[in-house]
Amino acid sequence: MLNETLFVGSSALAKLAELAVRPTISQVVVVADTNTARQCMPLLAPHLPQGHRVIEIPAGEEYKTLLICETLWTELTNHHADRHTLLINLGGGVVTDLGGFAAALYKRGISFVQVPTTLLAQVDASVGGKTGVDFLGFKNQLGVFQQPLAVCIDPRFLLTLDPRQLTSGYAEVVKHWLIADAEAFARNRYVGVLGVDDWTPVIQESVALKQQIVAQDPLETGLRKLLNFGHTVGHALESYLLQQPGREILHGEAVAAGMVCEAWLSYRKGLLSERELEQIESFLFSVFVKVQFVGLETEAIAEFALQDKKNAGSVINCTLLSGIGQGVYDQPITLPEIAESLRYYHRL
């Protein structure tokens, strides 16, 4: 069951319209990137009050920075945005993460609504109250936990996505199955992205699972760490390639590669059976294109895991699987093990 601040379906934007005209709100400002300003604002605009403003930021992970936050804060200041301003973040994970972070810090916090437009943002990035920006090349190095006023998910936005973006978001859906829903994995592992005709039930099921976990551990001190499966190695790979011009990959592509690596680590540690590992690998490679890197880069990629937020001192903590649908968090792994898992992935 979804909580009362999260709306999924074609009526979600009507709920947003109700929030935007509350008498306590002084003005409405939309944050959109160059893509969503063009492709998604036409669907959103009819649900906003007259006089709303749009602040456009560059599109892409490389712009998820403090510098762009400064630009946003400057625009809000120039528009005389006060503490009763409502910020609406229209976009994928970059916009919802950055916009939420900017809202949490502006004048010590203003209300914001997430309107995710990618599958990845709809099932993961916009839900749970995590906000942040990248710093010094490390993913989400700066951030705060700040719950939005609402999350309004309209699957019609997915019609604006190219197949690569849609597939990238599917990685977070698969992650939810692998950590907590073996039945869903068994039911869907022969389907893939192209077999989905209606995304609404997929989104509702995935978001409900995430909300159930987040409700028990909102600040990620324990159980919520399950949601990081695939992200220790995945973030390291994504961060490394982000610093290599022309080799950047999408977040979901990195997470899919990370899930293969971390499933293999689970197998090597005796937590996952060989049959389960084969099932996971077979499904992931049937959906996601293999991320390309050379074997000599594995140690350099692994080094990025030293900045992972789940670490405790010098210990790299990872979420692994004790079976399909059974995630286990705070599993210590080493840099050589990460590098070895990347070499394993490279050989497949």
Any catalytic annotation for residue 228?
A: yes
Any catalytic annotation for residue 130?
A: yes
Of the candidates 224, 225, 317, 340, the residue annotated as catalytic is: 224
Q: Are 37 and 91 spatial neighbours (Cβ–Cβ below 8 Å)? A: no
Check the CA dihedral 58-236-260-299 and report its sign: positive
**How far apart, in whole angstroms, are the C-alpha atoms of residue 128 and residue 324?**
23
Any catalytic annotation for residue 172?
A: yes
Q: Are 68 and 126 spatial neighbours (Cβ–Cβ below 8 Å)? A: no
Any catalytic annotation for residue 80?
A: no
Any catalytic annotation for residue 235?
A: yes
Any catalytic annotation for residue 247?
A: no
Of the candidates 172, 238, 262, 340, the residue annotated as catalytic is: 172
Of the candidates 175, 189, 210, 310, the residue annotated as catalytic is: 210
Of the candidates 231, 253, 317, 337, the residue annotated as catalytic is: 231
Any catalytic annotation for residue 276?
A: no
Q: Among 175, 186, 205, 160, which Cα is nearest to 36's?
A: 160
> Residue with structure tokens 């399950």?
226
Any catalytic annotation for residue 79?
A: no
Of the candidates 130, 176, 189, 225, the residue annotated as catalytic is: 130
Of the candidates 176, 228, 253, 317, the residue annotated as catalytic is: 228
Of the candidates 140, 235, 253, 310, the residue annotated as catalytic is: 235
Of the candidates 61, 75, 220, 238, the residue annotated as catalytic is: 220
Query: How big is the CA angle at 7 (ends 288 and 89), to the nearest 5 degrees?
Result: 70
Length of the chain: 348
**How far apart, in whole angstroms, are the C-alpha atoms of residue 275 and residue 262?**
15
**How far apart, in whole angstroms, are the C-alpha atoms of residue 71 and residue 84?**
20
Of the candidates 64, 251, 317, 340, the residue annotated as catalytic is: 251
Residue 340, token pair as written in the block? 């070895």
Any catalytic annotation for residue 290?
A: no
Any catalytic annotation for residue 220?
A: yes
Active-site annotation, residues: 108, 130, 172, 210, 220, 224, 228, 231, 235, 251
